[in-house]
Amino acid sequence: MMMERRKLLWGTGTLALLAALPRRLYAAAIGYPRLLDGPMIGATSPGSFTVWSRASGAFGVAVEYATRRDFSDAKTTAAVAATQENDLCTAIEVRGLQPDTEYHYRIKTDGIDDRNLPLPFRTRTAPDRPRPIRIAFGSCARVQLYPEQPVFEAVAAMEPDLFLWLGDNIYADSDSETAYSALYSRQRNVSALVPLLRSVPQLAIWDDHDFGYNNSDRHNVVKEMTHRLFRRWWANPPGGTADTPGIFFRHSFGPVDIFMLDGRYHRDPPDHPDGPAKTMLGAGQKAWLKRELKASKAVFKILVSGTGWTLAEKDGDSWANYLHERDEILDFIRDEKIAGCLGISGDVHQGEVNCVPWSDKGGYDFYDLVSSGLAQYLAPKFVDQHPEVRLRQPFVRSANFGLLEFHFDPEPRVELSIRDVIGAPASGKPVVLRAADLVNGKQSWRAAIDPDELERRERALRGGSYYGGE
Checking if the pLDDT of 469 tops 50, the result is yes
Average predicted confidence (pLDDT) for the chain: 92
What would the pLDDT profile of 4-30 be if each residue is shown by its tens digit? 434 333 344 444 443 444 444 444 445
| Per-residue pLDDT, 11 | 41
Checking if the pLDDT of 205 tops 80, the result is yes
| Per-residue pLDDT, 18 | 38
| Per-residue pLDDT, 91 | 98
Cβ density class 264-274: b for 16+ within 10 Å, e for less:
bbbbbebeeee
Q: What is the CATH number of domain 133-461?
A: 3.60.21.70
For domain 35-124, the question of CATH label 2.60.40.380 is answered with: yes
What would the pLDDT profile of 327-377 be if each residue is shown by its tens digit? 999 999 999 999 999 999 999 999 999 999 999 999 999 999 999 999 999
Checking if the pLDDT of 400 tops 60, the result is yes
What would the pLDDT profile of 417-445 be if each residue is shown by its tens digit? 999 999 999 989 999 999 999 999 999 99
| Per-residue pLDDT, 133 | 98
| Per-residue pLDDT, 382 | 62
Query: Could you tell me the pLDDT band of residue 385, with boundaries at 50, 70 and 90?
Result: confident
What would the pLDDT profile of 449-466 be if each residue is shown by its tens digit? 999 999 989 988 888 877
What would the pLDDT profile of 175-197 be if each residue is shown by its tens digit? 999 999 999 999 999 999 999 99
* Predicted model pTM: 0.93
SS (H, E, C) the chain: CHHHHHHHHHHHHHHHHHHHCCHHHCCCCCCCCCEEEEEEEEEEECCEEEEEEEECCCCEEEEEEECCCCCCCCEECCCEECCHHHCCEEEEEECCCCCCCEEEEEEEECCEECCCCCCCEEEECCCCCCCCEEEEEECCECCCCCCCCCHHHHHHHCCCCEEEECCCCCCCCCCCHHHHHHHHHHHHCCCCCHHHHHHCCEEECCCHHHHCCCCCCCCCCCHHHHHHHHHHHCCCCCCCCCCCCCCCEEEEECCEEEEECCCCCCCCCCCCCCCCCCCCCCHHHHHHHHHHHHHCCCCEEEEECCCCCCCCCCCCCCHHHCHHHHHHHHHHHHHCCCCCEEEEECCCCCEEEEEECHHHHCCCCEEEEECCCCECCCCHHHCCCCCCEECCCCECCCCCEEEEEEECCCCCEEEEEEECCCCCECCCCCEEEEHHHCCCCCCCHHHHCCHHHHHHHHHHHCCCCCCCCC
What is the average pLDDT across 398-414?
97
Percent of the chain with pLDDT over 90: 86
What is the average pLDDT across 142-170?
98
Checking if the pLDDT of 386 tops 90, the result is no
What is the average pLDDT across 36-65?
98
What is the average pLDDT across 79-97?
98
| Per-residue pLDDT, 30 | 53
Checking if the pLDDT of 258 tops 80, the result is yes
| Per-residue pLDDT, 174 | 96
